[in-house]
Amino acid sequence: MLGWLKPNRTRQERALAMHAQMAMATRPPYAATASPREDPDSLVGEAVFHSGPVHEVLMKLAYGIAPQRPLKEAAEDALAAMSAVVVLRPSWIAYCDARFGLNPEATDAFSETNRQWVDGDTARAWPRFAQAKPAVITATERIAELRSSLVEFCGYEFKEWVGQTA
């Protein structure tokens, strides 16, 4: 391989890794600093709601990283786990639309808030909750593993990059 191609590839990989860090840091409950809830089952709906954007960034990362990178395996594992969650997203959106009387085409703040944040009882009443909860737990674990691989790959964590401290 030509030597001058390698730096561009690394720059592209770092950009993908940084974008993945940012997406996961801003999407609860996948963020490392996700706020604890009185009823942890309420996080299931939030996780399913945010699964679309997280799945998209994981696809870009998994397919954009060179096969010899140790990060590749962690990205593929997280993508596989998130795939089990993202397939539930349309069902979750339809459930919330019916439950709260929302227009399925609505993307206003009120509708999006009702799809994202629900109480534990509402989440447990969703017919696919029993399938979603273990999928969300697995995806969250794989993303935590990926996050540590991303920190190792990039040399810093996203919250450090924006000047935040934990």
Could you tell me which residue, 75 or 3, shows the higher pLDDT? 75
pLDDT at 159 over 80: no
Q: Which amino acid is at 156?
A: Y
What percent of the chain is predicted at pLDDT more than 90? 55
Residue 152 has pLDDT above 90, yes or no: no
Give the span between the Cα atoms of 98 and 92, in whole angstroms.
10
> In which band, very low, low, confident or very high, does the pLDDT at 4 lie, cut at 50, 70 and 90?
very low
> What is the average pLDDT across 114-128?
93
In the structure encoding, which two tokens stand for residue 138, read together?
Answer: 């697995």
Separation between Cα atoms, residue 132 and residue 124, nearest integer Å: 10
Average pLDDT, the chain: 85
Average of per-residue pLDDT across 74-93: 96
